[in-house]
């Protein structure tokens, strides 16, 4: 059967499509800009008739319609691979839960799962002349999810950029069960956040000074990594490469400044490789049909074997806090969930294995609570319930506005001294006293 006939036979409405979802079903909502729109709204109308529906998703850029139904916890559970502010609010409402992952393993989780999705709902680009629907900026784990799903339902959005691969960046019509033609709404955006602060810029300067020409970059999400990107775009650095989990607006600025050629990359020479992308329309326009950019699943982008094969790999990520032992928490504030493990540890490990590679964990030295109290992000030990994202053995460079330190190979007393040296001066004496209690401070240490 030709692809045009298949398309016509599989074309339906969102309301008809979601009728396949029954109580007890596992439903997948794809990821970031791939999350459904019309199908989501149709399911929101149907959900009050159902119970015990489990939905998987993550990197939510706009609250799904199903979040707004009456008493959502009575009808479904949201299971997130990576959380943001929208999902944190849903935790408080009792229907949202985090699924701890090592992001590079996520495609395999689907393939090995005892609860594969009964139904996948996702936005895709229009079918091409070969019968393929491109996943847009969301290769991530999407193909693995579709491969094991009971039903695959795609929603067409003509605004979805076509992101070239790579592999596993599209699905053929023969693997699709139903097609819904969407409203072609603008893609959901992830804003760049507030302008870089003086602290962001100070941290960024320390990191940029460590980056050589020809380095390969990975940037995490957040103000500081974006500040690093802005400084790189303004720097004299050249022949940079990109191999990253998440493609963000900063990469577009660096590329447009002529800093990215990818010609020094050991693998995927000349290609900017990414596992998913989220940002502003500027980013989506840049990625669309751009042969320089390579969309690939995270089992490739986040594989430490691929990362370590790239010389001078520079991994730059945020964190919530760090303790005097060098344990990094990038996921929670005590027991209060914030985001997720993502691929941070993958890149921390891979960057250190790279010839000339460096992993940077960056943060402001303090934060201010709602009542105006200033607190240190460097603590004697992590707060009870805090998650260790990067173990003390794996932390490489740590950076605050007060300096940059290399923790590899240091004894506990050396680590404590180094970490305290980049703490806010107002908290250093207190941290030294706590280090003494923990028996990780020597009398000969610098004060």
pLDDT tens digits, 187-217: 999 876 667 889 989 999 999 999 999 999 9
Q: What per-residue confidence (pLDDT) applies to 418?
A: 97
pLDDT over threshold 70, residue 52: yes
Report the distance separating Cα 347 and Cα 313, nearest Å.
9
Residue 150 CB coordination number (10 Å): 13
**Sequence-distant (≥ 6) Cβ neighbours of residue 78 within 8 angstroms:** 55, 57, 66, 67, 87, 90, 95, 96, 97
Tell me the torsion sign for CA atoms 410, 323, 402, 341.
positive
Which runs of E-coded beta strand occur in 67-107? 76-80, 96-98
For the segment 103-126, the average pLDDT, to the nearest whole number, is 97
Give the end-to-end CA distance of the chain in Å, rounded to a whole number: 77
Give the pLDDT band of residue 337 (cuts 50, 70, 90): confident
For the segment 98-116, the average pLDDT, to the nearest whole number, is 95
Percent of the chain surpassing pLDDT 90? 88
Over residues 117-149, the pLDDT tens digits come to 999 999 999 999 999 999 999 999 999 999 999
Tokens read off for 158: 């003509």
Measured CA distances, 431 to 252, 362, 366, 413 (Å): 40, 19, 13, 12
Instruction: Look at the domain 3-181 and name its fold.
Output: Glutaconate Coenzyme A-transferase (3.40.1080)
Q: What per-residue confidence (pLDDT) applies to 25?
A: 98
Report the distance separating Cα 400 and Cα 164, nearest Å.
37
Q: Which positions are catalytic?
A: 245
For the segment 69-98, the average pLDDT, to the nearest whole number, is 93
Report the distance separating Cα 186 and Cα 51, nearest Å.
32
Tokens read off for 331: 């996921």
Over residues 248-293, the pLDDT tens digits come to 999 999 999 999 999 999 999 999 999 999 999 999 999 999 999 9
Domains of the chain, residue spans: 3-181, 198-437
pTM reported for the whole predicted model:
0.95
* Angle of helix 223-234 versus helix 198-208 axis, rounded to 10: 60
Give the pLDDT band of residue 224 (cuts 50, 70, 90): confident
Q: What per-residue confidence (pLDDT) applies to 226?
A: 79
Domains 3-181 and 198-437 share a fold: yes
Report the distance separating Cα 283 and Cα 279, nearest Å.
6
Percent of the chain surpassing pLDDT 70? 99
Q: What per-residue confidence (pLDDT) applies to 194?
A: 67
Report the distance separating Cα 51 and Cα 96, nearest Å.
15
Q: What per-residue confidence (pLDDT) applies to 76?
A: 97
Give the pLDDT band of residue 394 (cuts 50, 70, 90): very high
CB 222 within 8 A of CB 193: yes
Q: What per-residue confidence (pLDDT) applies to 329?
A: 95
Strand 76-80 vs strand 96-98: parallel, antiparallel, or unpaired?
parallel
Range 198-437: architecture per CATH: 3-Layer(aba) Sandwich (3.40)
For the segment 225-241, the average pLDDT, to the nearest whole number, is 90
HSE-CB of 238 using CA atoms within 13 angstroms: 1
Q: What per-residue confidence (pLDDT) applies to 16?
A: 98
For the segment 150-171, the average pLDDT, to the nearest whole number, is 96
């Amino acid at each position: 059967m030709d692809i045009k006939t298949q398309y016509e036979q599989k074309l339906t409405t969102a309301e008809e499509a979601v009728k396949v979802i029954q109580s007890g079903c596992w439903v997948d909502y794809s990821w970031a800009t791939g999350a459904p729109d019309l199908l989501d709204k149709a399911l929101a109308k149907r959900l009050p008739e159902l119970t015990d529906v489990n939905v998987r998703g993550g990197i939510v850029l706009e609250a799904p319609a199903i979040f707004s139904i009456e008493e959502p916890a009575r009808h479904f559970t949201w299971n997130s691979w990576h959380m943001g502010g929208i999902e944190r609010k849903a935790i408080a409402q009792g229907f949202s839960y985090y699924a701890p992952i090592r992001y590079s393993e996520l495609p395999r989780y689907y393939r090995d799962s005892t609860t594969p999705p009964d139904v996948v709902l996702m936005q895709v680009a229009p079918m091409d002349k070969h019968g393929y629907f491109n996943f847009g900026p969301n290769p991530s784990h999407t193909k693995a999810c579709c491969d094991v799903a009971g039903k695959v339902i795609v929603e067409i959005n003509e605004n979805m950029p076509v992101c070239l691969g790579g592999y596993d960046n599209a699905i053929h019509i023969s693997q699709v069960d139903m097609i819904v033609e969407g409203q072609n709404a603008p893609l959901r955006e992830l804003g760049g956040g507030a302008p870089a602060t003086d602290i962001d810029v100070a941290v960024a300067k320390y990191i940029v000074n460590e980056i050589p020409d020809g380095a390969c970059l990975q940037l995490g999400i957040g103000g500081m990594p974006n500040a690093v990107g802005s400084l790189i775009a303004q720097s004299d650095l050249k022949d940079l490469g990109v191999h990253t989990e998440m493609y963000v607006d900063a990469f577009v600025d660096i590329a447009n400044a002529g800093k990215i050629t990818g010609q020094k990359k050991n693998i995927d020479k000349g290609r900017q490789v990414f596992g998913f992308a989220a940002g502003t329309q500027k980013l989506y326009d840049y990625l669309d049909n751009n042969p320089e950019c390579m969309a690939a699943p995270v089992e490739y982008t986040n594989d430490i074997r691929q990362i370590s094969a790239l010389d001078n790999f520079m991994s730059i990520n945020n964190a919530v806090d760090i303790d005097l032992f060098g344990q990094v928490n990038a996921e929670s504030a005590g027991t209060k969930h914030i985001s997720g493990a993502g691929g941070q540890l993958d890149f921390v490990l891979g960057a250190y294995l790279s010839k000339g590679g460096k992993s940077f964990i960056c943060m402001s030295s303090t934060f201010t609570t709602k009542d105006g109290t200033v607190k240190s992000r460097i603590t004697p030990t992590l707060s009870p319930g805090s998650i260790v994202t990067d173990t003390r053995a794996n932390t490489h460079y740590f950076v605050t506005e007060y300096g940059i330190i290399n923790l590899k190979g240091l004894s506990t007393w050396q680590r404590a001294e180094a970490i305290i040296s980049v703490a806010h001066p107002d908290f250093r004496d207190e941290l030294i006293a706590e280090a003494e209690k923990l028996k990780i401070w020597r009398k000969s240490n610098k004060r």
